[in-house]
Chain A
């Protein structure tokens, strides 16, 4: 069962350093040959690049995912959204990221069983606290393990 008391909880702030080499590596891995990513001295990040921040965050920032108490065998990544206030941040930028549990709700699954949706929002701000980008992740805890139900 997902811990619904987690709604409104916010993790600690951590720094995200936008690096040119990582942008190039990510652009290549996602099939881009755009000189805008590969040759520019200060390229913007690809639309889904900030997803990498969650894999490099300090362990105490990842605790926010653990407070959700989702059964890992029934966990699906349902939706992902990225918003940029102006143009996406460029290499050389340091952003400050913080993740909040925005919403948790139940929905009747198509094949029976209740699915629980957890929406997490990460705000990426500059030194003045101005929001540069936002990422919204929807995690789903299915009624039973995806491998058993044949759903992805």
Chain B
């Protein structure tokens, strides 16, 4: 793994996920055990008032977590918090990006760092999630 510049304020390399397919939703549902039909059954989604099925919130949370662990190493992400802002639809592409925001310091571990991470659509108006992770 190439050494990352983790100075405060530095933008980490962005990564694009997708376009997400219905198969991606189903694969995540199988892996997690969440079989809510609203994410794979068109008829069910329409009867609930949606135009089509939409992604599982925890799938895009998981993609953002993967962005972190692929950059920082699986054992190094010790806190991950995500807020669900918008639904993600079939065909959406998500761009994960991060900025080293500040060091917490003074904590039990001196090497803790907090980073801003967010998914956005290429032309999205606002972030889809705003997690924090520390390592």
Residues of A participating in the B interface, judged by any CB pair closer than 8 Å: 22, 25-34, 36-37, 43-44, 46-48, 51-52, 55-56, 73, 76-84, 86-88, 145, 147-148, 152
Contact = CB atoms under 8 A, between A and B. Distances in A.
Name the interface size band of chain B: 35 or more
B74 interface: yes
Nearest to B81: A81
A26, A28, A30, A87: residue with the most chain B Cβ atoms closer than 10 Å? A30
12 contacts: A30-B28, A32-B69, A44-B75, A47-B80, A47-B133, A48-B58, A52-B31, A78-B84, A79-B81, A81-B80, A88-B77, A152-B86
Contacts of A48: 58, 61-62, 65, 80, 82
Contact of B33 (A55, A78, A88, A147): A55
B62 A83 contact: no
Contact of B74 (A34, A83, A152): A34
A82 B69 CA distance: 14
Given A26-B32, A29-B62, A48-B62, A34 B80 contact: no
A83 B79 contact: yes
B54 to A, nearest CB: 8
Interface of B: 17, 24, 27-28, 30-34, 48-50, 54, 57-59, 61-63, 65-66, 68-70, 73-75, 77-87, 133
Contact of A147 (B48, B75, B80, B83): B48
A78 B31 CA distance: 21
Nearest to B67: A31
Nearest to B86: A152
A10 B62 CA distance: 27
Given A26-B31, A27-B66, A52-B32, A84 B79 contact: yes
B35 to A, nearest CB: 8
